[in-house]
A = this chain, B = another copy of it.
Amino acid sequence: MSVDTSPTDGRRAKGRRTRAQILEAAADIASVEGLEGLTIGRLAGELGMSKSGLFAHFGSKEELQLATIDTARGIFARNVVAPAKEAERGLPRLEALIAAKLAYLRREIFTGGCFFETVRSEYDSREPGPVRDVIEADLQQWEQLMVRAITSAKKAGHLRADVDAEQLLFEIDALSGTASLRHQLNGDASLYDRAEAAIAARLRAAAL
């Protein structure tokens, strides 16, 4: 038995697992109802836990919201960013990022579609604040990752040198994000095929 498995460490590890499970449920609820609907009372009801038990993990609604965004970011990173890193730099990696994002949307890893599409549109016109700021920073991080992939595809000669990386990123994100939002509304899964076809056409035009 190693020193890592003392009773105290065991309780700490169990506490971390419980916290992680609570936050995965929270991210799923927020993907449907938004982060404003994510109250400690609502979450306690969903998980069959006491409100005081949840308060022991999160002192406030805002703390719970921020921790939920952290968890959703981790899920997105594991499902979209990490697999794409296996692909070669340049166009292959850009295409891998696009394919991984569409696969993540199609698989509905969050019940309400993309967690980030939901909360962006929930907070987009609200006053600045810690939650909104983190949501905006996360979008920037994704956009920077995509712009780097596009730029690297240009440098590798896979895409034309005059391709506007910000414009291409905007079009790709608009098509995949809207497929997810509309599919959630009308149940039409063929929208992912439409997004995929449009993005492929756009990349072919950029590669000429």
Contacts and interface: CB of A to CB of B under 8 A. Distances in A.
A90 interface: no
A156 interface: no
A171 B193 CA distance: 12
A83 interface: no
A107 interface: no
A104 to B, nearest CB: 15
Contacts of A34: 34, 36, 122
Contact of A185 (B31, B139, B170): B139
Interface size classification for chain A:
35 or more
Please state the number of chain copies in the assembly: 2
Interface string A2-43: 000000000000000000000000000001111011000000
Nearest to A166: B194
Given A121-B122, A125-B184, A139-B185, A174 B167 contact: no
A123 B186 CA distance: 11
A112 B135 CA distance: 17
Interface in A160-208: 166-167, 170-171, 173-175, 177-179, 181-182, 184-186, 191, 194-195, 197-198
